[in-house]
């Protein structure tokens, strides 16, 4: 089920594509998202109903006017005016998802027991790009519960090459054989 915020995010993306500004707005959208994440009090201020709407919109103009694409600024103003700014993160996710789909980009997460070297990351990224046929943006996580090996999730598929995962698979095969 698509949320209202998802529809807003998709509408912004459709407009950006139509105006050939999707790359610029993608970068700026992530930058604004980061600013909001670092300054949650600013979001609270922009959502405060006791502050007149014009004043809240003026705060956006002062903070972002001339620094981000006018479509993105107007988008933020609409969210503020409609009291929907708290859903900005969902708008960003929808925009990013459509952008990545249209540009052949996949997000992948690799989990390992110890930090991977840059060489290992580059090799893994190249392998994932070859398998998926897409550019891969790789997020690294370290989890001490992983005894060895790697766990990789890409495009909703999990490739579990951890020691625990291999032992579970072996245990399942033995159980099937015995029963």
The CATH number of 104-178 is: 3.40.30
Alpha-carbon gap, residue 96 to 38, rounded angstroms: 20
CATH 1.10.520.20 domain residues, the chain: 4-100
Residue showing tokens 């032992």: 167
pLDDT > 90: percent of the chain:
52
Is residue 173 very low, low, confident or very high in pLDDT (cuts 50, 70, 90)? Answer: confident
pLDDT, residue 151, reads: 81
Alpha-carbon gap, residue 164 to 147, rounded angstroms: 7
CATH 3.40.30 domain residues, the chain: 104-178
Average pLDDT over residues 105-127: 89
- Given a cut of 90, whether residue 77 has pLDDT beyond it is yes
CB-based contacts of 61, cutoff 8 Å, min separation 6: 73
Q: What element of type H or E holds 151?
A: strand 150-154
Using DSSP bridges, classify how beta strands 135-142 and 105-112 pair: parallel, antiparallel or unpaired. parallel
The CATH number of 4-100 is: 1.10.520.20
Alpha-carbon gap, residue 101 to 130, rounded angstroms: 17
Alpha-carbon gap, residue 149 to 167, rounded angstroms: 12
pLDDT, residue 175, reads: 77
Is residue 165 very low, low, confident or very high in pLDDT (cuts 50, 70, 90)? Answer: low
pLDDT, residue 26, reads: 96
Q: CA 98 → CA 29, 40, 49, distances in Å? A: 13, 26, 32
Q: What are the phi and psi torsion angles at 62 (to 5°)?
A: -65, -35
pLDDT digits (tens, 9 = 90+) for 22-74: 999 999 999 999 999 999 999 999 999 899 989 999 999 999 989 999 999 99
Of 148, 133, 137, 130, which Cα lies nearest the Cα of 109? 137
Q: Is 2 helix (H, G, I), strand (E, B) or coil?
A: coil
Alpha-carbon gap, residue 6 to 11, rounded angstroms: 9
């Amino acid at each position: 089920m698509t949320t209202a915020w998802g529809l807003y995010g998709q509408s912004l993306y459709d407009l950006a594509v139509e105006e050939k500004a999707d790359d610029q707005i993608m970068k700026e959208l992530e930058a604004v998202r980061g600013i909001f994440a670092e300054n949650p009090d600013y979001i609270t201020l922009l959502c405060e109903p006791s502050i007149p709407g014009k004043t809240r919109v003026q705060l956006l103009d002062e903070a972002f006017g001339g620094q981000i694409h006018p479509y993105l600024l107007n988008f933020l103003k609409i969210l503020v005016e409609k009291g929907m700014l708290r859903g900005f993160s969902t708008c960003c996710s929808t925009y990013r998802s459509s952008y990545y789909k249209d540009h052949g980009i996949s997000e992948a997460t690799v989990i390992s027991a110890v930090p991977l070297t840059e060489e290992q990351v580059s090799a893994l990224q190249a392998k994932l790009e070859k398998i998926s046929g897409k550019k891969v943006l790789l997020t690294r996580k370290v989890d001490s519960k992983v005894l060895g090996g790697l766990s990789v999730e890409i495009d909703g598929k999990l490739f579990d090459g951890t020691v625990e995962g291999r032992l579970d698979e072996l245990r399942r095969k033995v159980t099937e054989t015995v029963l």
